[in-house]
Structure 1
Amino acid sequence: MPDGGAVARSLFAVLATTVLVLLWISGPAALWVAGAGAVAGAIGLQDSPGGRIARVGIASVQMGAAVLLGTLTASFDIVFVVAVALWCFVAGLQWAVGGNAGLVGAGATALLVVAPPVAPTVASVLLPTLLTIAAGGVQAALIAIWPPQRWRTQREALSDAYRALADEARQIGADAGSAAAHILDPSLRDAFIDTQASRRPEAYHGGHRPPERILATLRALRESPGVKDDDVTRMSEAAAEVLDAIAGQDHTARRDTEHGLVRLDATVTRLSGPEEALAQRLSRQLREVAKLRFPDLNRADLISPVRNAAQVVRSHMTLTSPVLRHAIRLSGAVALGVAADRFAPVAHGHWIALTVLMVLRPETAHTYTRCVGRLAGIAAGVVAASAIAAVVHPSGAVAALLATACVAVTYAVHRTGYIAGSVALAAATVFLLDIDAATSGATLEDRLFSIIIGGGLAVVAHVALPDHALTRLHQRAGELLKSEIDYAATVIKAYVHALDRQSDTVTSAWQRAYRARAGFEAASGAARVNTRALRRWLRSYRTALNAVTASCAALEDSLPPHPPAALTREFIAAVDDYIDALRGAPATPAAPWTVDVAALTAAAQQVRERAAGVTGDDGALRVLVAEIASITRSLAGIASISEPISAE
C-alpha cells in the first residue's frame, strides 16, 4: 500500500484532468482520460526500484494505442470485433513479462472495448489519443517531481550511506588501522525493512544490502597486505568518486557515475595479487549499485526493455505455454462479448467484455475458484454502486468524483484479497462508465445480466482450452512451494518480531499451505503419471516439502509468546534478511515459483554467525537456528530436483 499522500496526489490528478477534459472536450475523451490516469497512477506507485517513469510512459503509450484503435474502428462492427480479438491476443501475451504488464494490457483493452460507435474524424481520433497519453504523462510527472515519502526516506538513507562509504574508501591506504566498527547508520536498514510487507520485486529486495556488501569489501581491502601500494590508493580514490556520484542527487549524478566507473576500471587493471580480486569485486558491486540507481546506465537506446519483453514473449509461443493459451482464451472470450454487444439485443453489452477482462487470468493453479470469487466480487460491487447511483444519479463530474473515491477504496483493500479488490474495482467501473452519456444509464438488471454472460464466457474459455496437464501440475507445485515458504516465513518472523494476533496469523498461514497441498495432490492425481521420471519427481518433491512442514511444526511448538529480549539487533537483521531471501520475488504467470538457493544459503549462514553473538542460553533460539538450517537444506533439495518435461 503506497503512502496516503502519494495516492491522494495521484487521484486528485486523475479527477482534475477528467473534469477539465469533460468541460472542454467530450464525455468519451474524459472516460478514457480517467481510466488511463488511474492505471498509470497504479503503475507509477508500484514499490520497485528505478525505471518508474519509463514504465508509466510505456503503459501510457499502450493505452493511447488502444484508444487510437478504438476510435478508428468502433463505427465498423465487424472490423471492431476483429480488431479487439487481435488486440486481446497481444495483451494476453503480456502476462509472459509479468503480472503488472498483463494487468496493463487488460486495462488498455478495457479502454478499447468501451469505444463508442462514432464515425472517425481527425479530431475524434487524434485528440482522445493524445489526451490519454497525456493523462499518463501527468502521473509520471507527479512521481518524478513529488515521489512518495517512503521513497524519499530510502533515497536519503542510501545517499548518506554511500557518502559514508566514499569516506571509508578514501581512508584505505592512509590509515589502515583506524577503521571504525560501524560506519553505516542503523536507520539505513530500518528504511527498507517493512515487517508488514509480504514480498516485493526481486530487484527491490533489501536496498540496504549493497552498501553492507561494499563495506565488507572495503574492510577486506584495508586488511590486505598491499594496502599501502600507490595503485591501491588510486583505485580507492576512484571508488570514492563513484560512490560520491551515486550518492548525488543533482542532474550530473548519472554522467559522473558513468565516467567514474570508467576511471575505476582503468585503475583496477593495474593491480595484482589479492588486491586485484578484491578490487574486481568492488568494481562489480559498484556497477550493480549504479544500475539500480540509474536504470538506463550504459543503455544504448530507450526501447531495450521493449525488445527484451518481445524476446520473452517469443519464448512462450508454444501450445503448452499457459500464457499463449490465456491469450487465445482472452481473445476469443472478449471478441464474443463485443460481438454480443454489437449484434445481439443486449443492453449495455460492453459489460460482458469488461467482466471477461476482470475475471480471466492465466492462473493455472486456481482458475475456477478465483473466477467464481471475482464474479461474486464484481456482482457485489455493481450492486453497491447501483444502489448509490439510484440515489445520486451521477453523471459527468459527479460520476468522476465517485469513480475516484472507489479507486481510492481499491488501493485501501488491495491487500485484503482479490475478492475485495474486485468489489471496489467493479464499483469504480460503474461510475467511470457514467462519466460518458454513451456508456451510462445501465440498470442493475442490465449489468448483472451481462456480468453473468461474461463470467460464463470466461469459464467456458477455460473448459474449451484448458492448460496442459503437466503445466498445471508444475504450477500447483509452485503454488504449494510458495504457501509452504509463506508458512515458514511467518513462523520465523514471529520469533523476532511481535505480530498482531500471533496465533491467528500462524494458523492462517498453515491453512493456506494445507489448501495448497490439497490442490497439488488433486493435480497430481489428475495427471497421467506414466513415466518413471515423473513419479520420482513427485516422490522427491513430497519428501522435501514434508521436511519443510516438519521444521515449521517444530518451530511452532517452540514459539515463545514474545520475542526474547536478549536478541541482538544484528541477529534480528540477519533473520529479516533470511526471510527476504526465503520469500524471494513473485514468479511470472508463465513460470512456477522457485527459490534462490545461493541467496538463501548465504542468509542462513549469516543467521548462524549472528546467533553466536546472542548472550544467554535460550532454547527457542537454538531451535530457530537449527530449523532454519533444516529448511534451507530441504529447499535446496527441491531446487536440485529436475522437473520432468513429459508425463507420458
Structure 2
Amino acid sequence: MPWSPALKSSLRSGLHLERTVNEPLQVLRGMLGVGIVLFGALWLGRPSLATSAALGAFIAGTATYQRSFRPRPILALYAAAGLAASSFVGYLASPWPPLFVLVLALWAFAAGLAWVLGQTAGVVASTTVSVMLIIVTLPENVAQAAEHAGYVAAGGLVQATLAAVWPGRRWAARRDALADAYASLADYARRLRHDPFAAFDPDPLMNARRAAALSPAQARRRPAELAGMRSYAERIRPVLAAMADPRVGADEEGPQRDRARELMGAAAEMLDAVARSIRTGRPAAVPERTYRALTVPKSGPVLEGAGRQAALKLIGLLAEAADAVDAVDRGDPVGGGAAAPGHLPRPSLRQLLPALLHALRRHWDWSSPVLRHAVRLAVVAALGEILGRSLPVSHGYWAPMTAVMVIRPDFSQTYTRGVARVAGTVLGVAVTTAIILATHPSVWICAALAVLSIGGAYLLMRSGYAAMSTCITGYVVFLLAMDGTGITSTVADRVLLTLLGGLIALAAYAVFPTWQTVRLPDRLAAYVEAGGAYAAAAVDAYAEPSAKGPAVVREALLGYRQTRSELGTASDQAAVEPVRHRGLGTAQLADARAAMAALGRAVMLMEAHLPAADAQPVPGAARFAAGLREQTARAARQIRAGGPVDLGPVRAQYEEWARELPAEDSDPASASPGALLHRDAGLLAEALEGLSGALADQ
C-alpha cells in the first residue's frame, strides 16, 4: 500500500486498546518484587540506589511476562544480569562521550543480534539498553557504579525468587498450549462436518511442540497428563481429514456421510473434554451419547473401505487419549505402568551457545532482517545519544531511550510502537507532573506511586503499547523525582526528546528498511521446497516401509510447518508495508498458498494410512518420490529467480506410474496401501498443477 495509508494504519493500530489484561495475582507478584527492592533500598541507602534497584526489578519482572516457555525465574535472572553488566560497562565509558557513544552502539548492536534467539530475547535485550541510559547517570564514581550494578542484580534476584516461590498456576503455559492444540482439533472436527475440505491450522500444534521442550529437571516433575498427549493429537489430525474427505473417505452424501458427521461431532466433544481436563488438571465429563456414537454400530449406516479404516483408527486414538487422561485422574500410572514417554530436550545455557553461534553465522548476511535490525538499533542509539547531549535540554537520554524502545525488525511494529510510545510518554509525563505539582509528594510517597505505576504497566501489558508506555513513563518519572530531580523544568524537555527519539527510529527504518514484501518469493520458494520434501517423505514411507518411516515423515512435516509459518508472518507484515513487489502479486501469492494448502492436505491423507513396517513396498513409489523432490526443488529455484513455474512433469510421471500399477492397486474401491497411495498421489499432482497455474506468469 502507499505510504499515506500505511502511516494511517500504523496510527490506528498504535492507539488501539485491547480489553485484555494480565492475571491480577501475577501483577501483584510483580508489584511486590518492585516494592521490596524499592522500599528496601530506600531504607538502606540513597534514593539513586533505590532507583537502580527498582529499574532492575522492573526489567526482571517484565521478562517474566514474555511469551516464553523457559522458566520465569531464569528469564528474570538473565534480564537483571544483562542490565547490571550494561550499566556498569556504560558507566566506565561515560566520562568520555565519544567512547560512551561507541560502547552504547556496540551494546545496542549486540542487543539487536539477540533476536536470533527469538522475540523474548530480543525484547529483553533492547529493554536493558534503554534502561542502561538512565542508570549510568546515577553513580558518581566506579565504586558507586559497582554498587548500583549490585542493586540492579538484587532487584532481579528478588523477582526471580518470587517467581519461583509464587509461580501462580503451575505448568499453566504448557497446559494451555497442549489444551489449545486439542481444542483446535475439536474445532477442526466440527468444521469438517460442514466442509469436508476445511483448512487445518497447525499453529496450536506447533506451539504445543515448543511447550513440550523440557529440561531434565522439568521432565522429572512434569504432570502425568502432559506426558505423551501431544502425540495423540498429531495422529488424530490426519485421520479426521481422511475420514471427512469424500475422495478417499465417506461418500459426499448419503448414509456414510451421516455416519461420518456423527463420528466427527462425537470426536469434537471428546477432544474438548480432553482439552478441559488438561487445562484444569481435573476430570471432564463426557456425555454418554458421545461414547455411544464412538462405538461400531451393529446395524445402520457404516463406513466402508478407506473411510472405515480411518473411522476405526479415530475411535482407537480417541479412546487412548481419553484413557490416558482418565488414568491420571484415577492416580494410575500412564500407559499401565510403562515407562514415561520421552520429552523434547530443552538446551541449557551452555548447550545454547553452539546454537547461538550457528544462528549468528546464518544471519551474518546483509539480507538478514536480524543483522539489518542490529545495525539500525546501533545507529539510532548512537544518534539519539549524540543529539540528546548536543541539545540545551536536561535528561537527554530520553531521546535514545525512546528510539531503542520503539524500533523493531519489521515496519509494522516499528511505526505502530512509535506512535504508541510518543502518545503514551506525553500522556504519562503530563499526568505524573500534574500529580507531583498538586501533591508535592515525599520520597516514600513517590516510591509508592512508582509501584502503583508499574503495577498498571504489568496489568495493561497486553492491552496495548500506548497504555503500557503511559504507566512506564509515570514509573520512571516518579523514580527520578525521589532524589529531587526537577519536574516543572523538564516536562517540555522530556516530551521534546521523546518526539525526537521516535522520529529518529521511524526515519531510520524508512532510510534503511527491511521490507518483507521483497522477501516473499524466497519465503514462498522455501515453502514449496519443504512441501515437496514432506510429500516425498510420505511417498517414500510406502516405497520402503520401515519403523523409521513415520519419524522421517514427521521431521519433514515440521519443516513444512515452519516454512508455512514464516511465509504467513512475512505475508501479514508485507500487507501493511508501503511497497509492492513487482514480480509476485497479491493474487498470485494467495493462489499459491491455496495450492500448497491442498498439497499439505493430500499428504495428510497419506499420513492417515502409513503402512506398517512389515508391509510390502508399493512398486514405483520410490521413483515418484524422487521426481517430487526434483520438480519442487526446481520450482523453488524458478520462484527465487522470478521465472515461470512448470510442474507438469509431476502429472506426467504420475500417469506413467498409474499405467504400471497392479490390478489390486488400480481398483478405486480397494483399501490396499498401493491403492490408497495412488489415490492420494493424484490429489498431490492436482495440487501441484494448481501451483503451476498460480505462478505461471510470475
The TM-score by the shorter chain falls in which range? Answer: 0.5 to 0.7
What's the CA shift for 1:136? 0.9
**Whole-Å Cα distance in 1 between the matches of residues 33 and 156 of structure 2?**
10
Matched, 1:542 2:562: no
**Whole-Å Cα distance in 2 between the matches of residues 436 and 23 of structure 1?**
14
What's the CA shift for 1:84? 0.9
Asked if the contact 1:18–1:33 (Cα under 8 Å) also holds between the matched residues in 2, the reply is: yes
Matched, 1:526 2:580: yes
**Whole-Å Cα distance in 1 between the matches of residues 494 and 173 of structure 2?**
45
**Whole-Å Cα distance in 2 between the matches of residues 318 and 451 of structure 1?**
32
**Whole-Å Cα distance in 2 between the matches of residues 302 and 439 of structure 1?**
43
| 1:473-527 Cα shifts (integer Å, max 9, x gaps) | 57999xxxxxxxxxxxxxxxxxxxxxxxxxxxxxxxxxxxxxx999856759633
What's the CA shift for 1:469? 6.4
The aligned counterpart of 1:329 is 376
**Whole-Å Cα distance in 2 between the matches of residues 545 and 162 of structure 1?**
33
What's the CA shift for 1:352? 0.9
- Aligned runs of 1:552-571 on 2, under 5 Å? none
What's the CA shift for 1:5? 1.8
Asked if the contact 2:596–2:687 (Cα under 8 Å) also holds between the matched residues in 1, the reply is: no
What's the CA shift for 1:361? 1.6
Q: 1:215 to 1:135 in 2, by over 3 A?
A: farther
Q: Which amino acid aligns with 2:320?
A: A
**Whole-Å Cα distance in 1 between the matches of residues 339 and 125 of structure 2?**
39
Q: 1:350 to 1:521 in 2, by over 3 A?
A: closer
The aligned counterpart of 1:216 is 320
**Whole-Å Cα distance in 1 between the matches of residues 41 and 479 of structure 2?**
14
What's the CA shift for 1:22? 2.5
Q: 1:146 to 1:424 in 2, by over 3 A?
A: same
What's the CA shift for 1:89? 0.9
The aligned counterpart of 2:49 is 29
Q: Which amino acid aligns with 1:433?
A: L
Higher mean alpha-carbon deviation, 21-30 vs 468-477, is at 468-477
The aligned counterpart of 2:225 is 161
The aligned counterpart of 2:387 is 340
**Aligned mate of 1:371, from 418, 435, 441:** 418
Higher mean alpha-carbon deviation, 139-148 vs 335-344, is at 335-344
**Whole-Å Cα distance in 2 between the matches of residues 389 and 120 of structure 1?**
27
Asked if the contact 1:385–1:431 (Cα under 8 Å) also holds between the matched residues in 2, the reply is: yes
- Aligned runs of 1:596-615 on 2, under 5 Å? none
| 1:428-476 Cα shifts (integer Å, max 9, x gaps) | 2322333444686653211111112112211221222122464565799
Asked if the contact 1:433–1:440 (Cα under 8 Å) also holds between the matched residues in 2, the reply is: no
- Aligned runs of 1:433-444 on 2, under 5 Å? 433-437=480-484, 443-444=490-491
Higher mean alpha-carbon deviation, 28-37 vs 150-159, is at 150-159
Matched, 1:133 2:166: no
Asked if the contact 1:338–1:352 (Cα under 8 Å) also holds between the matched residues in 2, the reply is: yes
What's the CA shift for 1:332? 1.4
| 1:586-612 Cα shifts (integer Å, max 9, x gaps) | xxxxxxxxxxxxxxxxxxxxxxxxxxx
| 1:332-388 Cα shifts (integer Å, max 9, x gaps) | 112122223334322221111121123222223454344223322322222222222
What's the CA shift for 1:413? 2.3
The aligned counterpart of 1:288 is 343
Q: For structure 2, list consecutive stretches of 5 or more residues without a partner in the other structure.
A: 1-20, 180-221, 230-269, 283-315, 325-332, 525-569, 598-682
The aligned counterpart of 1:104 is 124
Matched, 1:404 2:451: yes
- Secondary structure of the residue aligned to 2:135 is coil
- Secondary structure of the residue aligned to 1:357 is helix
Q: Give the TM-score normalised by structure 2.
A: 0.51
Asked if the contact 2:228–2:342 (Cα under 8 Å) also holds between the matched residues in 1, the reply is: no
Matched, 1:188 2:277: yes
- Secondary structure of the residue aligned to 1:349 is coil
Asked if the contact 1:333–1:461 (Cα under 8 Å) also holds between the matched residues in 2, the reply is: yes
**Aligned mate of 1:42, from 62, 82, 98:** 62
Q: Which amino acid aligns with 1:106?
A: S
Q: 1:71 to 1:59 in 2, by over 3 A?
A: same
- Secondary structure of the residue aligned to 2:367 is coil
**Whole-Å Cα distance in 1 between the matches of residues 425 and 444 of structure 2?**
23
- Secondary structure of the residue aligned to 2:460 is helix
The aligned counterpart of 2:467 is 420
Matched, 1:76 2:96: yes
Q: 1:377 to 1:545 in 2, by over 3 A?
A: farther
Matched, 1:452 2:499: yes
For the pair shown, the structure with the greater C-alpha radius of gyration is 2
Q: Which amino acid aligns with 1:146?
A: W
Asked if the contact 1:338–1:353 (Cα under 8 Å) also holds between the matched residues in 2, the reply is: yes
The aligned counterpart of 2:361 is 314
- Aligned runs of 1:115-134 on 2, under 5 Å? 115-117=135-137, 121-134=141-154
**Whole-Å Cα distance in 1 between the matches of residues 30 and 445 of structure 2?**
18
| 1:231-271 Cα shifts (integer Å, max 9, x gaps) | xxxxx99983754xxxxxxxxxxxxxxxxxxxxxxxxxxxx
- Aligned runs of 1:135-150 on 2, under 5 Å? 135-149=155-169
Q: 1:520 to 1:103 in 2, by over 3 A?
A: closer
What's the CA shift for 1:423? 2.5
What's the CA shift for 1:28? 2.9
Q: Which amino acid aligns with 2:83?
A: M
Asked if the contact 1:40–1:56 (Cα under 8 Å) also holds between the matched residues in 2, the reply is: yes
**Whole-Å Cα distance in 2 between the matches of residues 29 and 474 of structure 1?**
52
- Secondary structure of the residue aligned to 2:363 is coil
What's the CA shift for 1:392? 2.8
**Whole-Å Cα distance in 2 between the matches of residues 467 and 186 of structure 1?**
40
Q: 1:521 to 1:185 in 2, by over 3 A?
A: closer
Q: 1:332 to 1:153 in 2, by over 3 A?
A: closer
Q: Give the TM-score normalised by structure 1.
A: 0.55
Q: Which amino acid aligns with 1:526?
A: R
What's the CA shift for 1:154? 7.9
Q: 1:111 to 1:544 in 2, by over 3 A?
A: same
Q: Which amino acid aligns with 2:277?
A: L
What's the CA shift for 1:123? 2.6
Q: 1:519 to 1:191 in 2, by over 3 A?
A: same
**Whole-Å Cα distance in 2 between the matches of residues 66 and 131 of structure 1?**
13
Asked if the contact 1:365–1:476 (Cα under 8 Å) also holds between the matched residues in 2, the reply is: no
**Aligned mate of 2:28, from 5, 8, 11:** 8
Asked if the contact 1:3–1:149 (Cα under 8 Å) also holds between the matched residues in 2, the reply is: no
**Whole-Å Cα distance in 2 between the matches of residues 20 and 369 of structure 1?**
37
What's the CA shift for 1:4? 1.7
What's the CA shift for 1:105? 1.3
The aligned counterpart of 2:107 is 87
**Whole-Å Cα distance in 2 between the matches of residues 25 and 338 of structure 1?**
29
**Whole-Å Cα distance in 1 between the matches of residues 161 and 474 of structure 2?**
28
- Secondary structure of the residue aligned to 1:287 is coil
Q: 1:89 to 1:460 in 2, by over 3 A?
A: same
Q: Which amino acid aligns with 1:125?
A: A
Q: 1:105 to 1:372 in 2, by over 3 A?
A: same
What's the CA shift for 1:310? 4.0
What's the CA shift for 1:324? 1.7
The aligned counterpart of 2:433 is 386
**Whole-Å Cα distance in 1 between the matches of residues 161 and 318 of structure 2?**
33
